[in-house]
Structure 1
Amino acid sequence: MPPTAPLSRRTLLGAVGLAAAAVAAAPVLAAPASAAATTDRGYGVFLPAYPGSVDAVRTAGAAVGRMPELVTWYVAWSTKTAFPLAQVQEVTGLGALPEITWEPWDPARGTAQSTYSMASIAAGRHDSYIRSWARAAAAWGRPVRLRFAHESNGSWYPWAVGVNGTTASQYAAAWRRVVNLFRSAGARNVQFVWCPNIPFAGTPGLASIYPGDAYVDVVGLDGYNWGTSQEWSQWGTFTDVFGAGVSELRSFTAKPLVLGEVGCAEAGGDKAAWIADMFAVLDAHPEIRGFTWFNATKETDWRVESTQASLDAFRAGVA
């Protein structure tokens, strides 16, 4: 989910939404009745105020009683932004891992655009821009995560398979070219995160759009409990949201697994209880090595501080 989405997900998910995920979800993420913490998972955050205010990251850490281990933000190719060294240094200086969600599009133009198509990337028409980032990242030399062309199984981005003429082979070829250009530049410090959306009715199988283990360092999964915040949505448990997707990912790759975007609405259920259950499930499943909370008010109030009860539950979970 980008900071400002040009399309309504009502038209993308329709009546299926979380219902499809709930029906398909395997119980692989169920928490035992008394789950004890088994891992020190990584906690990441997206904040609308960053980049811009590094104090926003400090404030977010103070609010939950723990500084995040990862900070993620979004960069669209249309901005022609150079590798954001200042922000990478800033986040690293906080003791966190910088993660850039690198989006090959112009967010103002919706899905019907061809300038940054997967076919054009695969054909090498953007090599100069990609190399500029790769060389700068290599010169930096310290760990950075790059979440390139995420949620490619959805229908809200032009790079998604089945959208704007994008095919699975074009997507995979573009991904591999980007990775190869970074490797050729010596940017082995960059970890590439392949991060689809949670699967729902009508989306392509995740294995069919996977670039391959040789080109992926970390696999992720984006998912939200929309509750009843939208006319098409319904409340779903953490396992309803992520269970089927995690099971599907694990059917074809053993790469390190994270949850790239997580959020929960207040409407339709008990958000504090949902957060507490999330941590119980994660504690019982150390194979999920981290998660990033989408801490923003957008389609609804996803923030952990949307109520005091939600904030308290989150504080207890990351303690």
Structure 2
Amino acid sequence: MITLPRIMLATLVLIGGYVFVVAPRVEANTRTTASWQEQLAEPVPSFSPPASAPSRSRATFPQAGTAFFGVFTEKGPGDLTDYNGFVRAAGKSPQVMMFASGWGAEKHFDRQPFDRIVNRGMLPMLGWEPWDYRAESKTDRDRGTQPQYRLARISGGDFDGYLTEWAQGIKALGYPVAIRFAHEMNGYWYPWGESANGNQKGDYVAAWRHVHDLFDRLGAGNVIWVWSPNVVYDNATPLSQLYPGDAYVDWVGLSGYYGTAGMETYQTFEQIYRPTLNELKTLSRRPIVVTETAATDKQGRKADWITDLLQTLPRHPEIIGFLWYESVKETDWRIAATPAASAAFAQGIAQPYYGATWDPDMVPRRLIRTN
């Protein structure tokens, strides 16, 4: 099992609010909701191809026998420098792009980042963070302390005006949007973690369900809900305590990096992810997406790790895609950083397995495939 001393996590933060490497579990739930297909059949604005384009069947994303690859950059669609470097290095374009948005900083809905991503042929994934990352403490144990963003305030309705504006805005987009809400909740470094900020056991599930239900009531059925813990580590909050149930989740996401602070000794993808993947099998039937990953080159093995990643994922049919963190932060995580890393990524991603395609008429794969 991968362990991560808590003191080391202080260096693992991305400015938009991202840390890496911890775990998840799941509980049964009897709530029923309309299926994705039923939601799309409702009178919700939809993306319409040009009149001259042939009609498209409602295919599943990603298609059977394939996985998608995506990109997450620190600056998101507002500055495409890292994205463009990633595309050049990979030799082809990704199908998903994630960007982060904090409740305290981005106070109003803005459709432009979503449109910029869709106009480049990618599914937008919003990393939606209930905190003010500008006020983040630089003291490790205090990073998750922002009382105004306690989970009980979310489930209690204090942010319903804000949530309503965003739900209506996302509904009006008329195309699918993945929302990775309050990620890495099994750690202590964000205000929405149950081990931080005065939160109590059960608060996370209550907050998640409250946000989900509000979107449902407003008819925002174009959302793919992504529940995304960190890969497991010692003393993390048990995932079974945090999982809102399959009726509230479409995809399960995971964060896990090779080479975070103090852990530069080489570890394969299996060594980093296997304990969490085994745990998830007992918790959910939802597909898994590696929502954050990358590798250091401090020991000269970044290209090796990329090759291992892209050769290993096809042996995990439960994993339907991954997103690479293409930015310079704690280290230079970019595949574009060196010719060796670029070549390894381009060679691996050229496999037919990574040949998934996306368009706005597709529906998300919501059950794990075994073939």
TM-score range, shorter chain: 0.7 to 0.9
Query: Which 4+ runs in 1 deviate beyond 6 A?
Result: none
Please list, as runs of the form range in 1=range in 2, the aligned pairs for 1:93-242 lying within 5 A after superposition.
93-107=119-133, 108-109=135-136, 110-226=143-259, 230-231=261-262, 233-242=264-273
Q: TM-score, normalised by structure 1?
A: 0.85
Query: CA separation in 2, counterparts of 1:71 and 1:11?
Result: 24
Report how many aligned residue pairs link the two structures: 290
Deviation at 1:81, TM superposition (A): 3.2
Find the partner of 2:318 among 263, 287, 293. Answer: 287
Match of 2:78, SS? coil
Query: CA separation in 2, counterparts of 1:232 and 1:273?
Result: 16
Deviation at 1:207, TM superposition (A): 1.5
Match of 2:257, SS? strand
Point out which structure has higher relative CO (alpha carbons under 8 A, 6+ apart). 2
- Of 283-292 and 96-105, deviating more is 283-292
CA deviation profile, 1:81-128 (whole Å, cap 9, x unmatched)? 322311111111111000110000111233211111111001000000
Structure with a larger share of its residues in helix: 1
Say whether the 8 Å CA contact 1:153–1:160 is kept in structure 2.
yes
Query: CA separation in 2, counterparts of 1:275 and 1:119?
Result: 41
The verdict on how the C-alpha distance between 1:296 and 1:11 changes in structure 2, with shifts beyond 3 A counting, is: closer
**Pairwise CA RMSD of aligned residues?**
2.1
Match of 2:204, SS? helix
Say whether the 8 Å CA contact 1:75–1:81 is kept in structure 2.
no
Percent of aligned pairs with the same amino acid: 38
Query: CA separation in 2, counterparts of 1:233 and 1:55?
Result: 27
Find the partner of 1:274 among 305, 312, 316. Answer: 305
Indicate yes or no: 2:93 matched with 1:67.
Answer: yes
Deviation at 1:306, TM superposition (A): 2.4
1:253 aligns to what?
284
Which amino acid in the other structure matches residue 299 of structure 1?
Answer: E
Query: CA separation in 1, counterparts of 2:159 and 2:176?
Result: 24
Deviation at 1:239, TM superposition (A): 0.7
- Of 59-68 and 156-165, deviating more is 59-68
Say whether the 8 Å CA contact 1:141–1:187 is kept in structure 2.
no
Match of 1:221, SS? strand
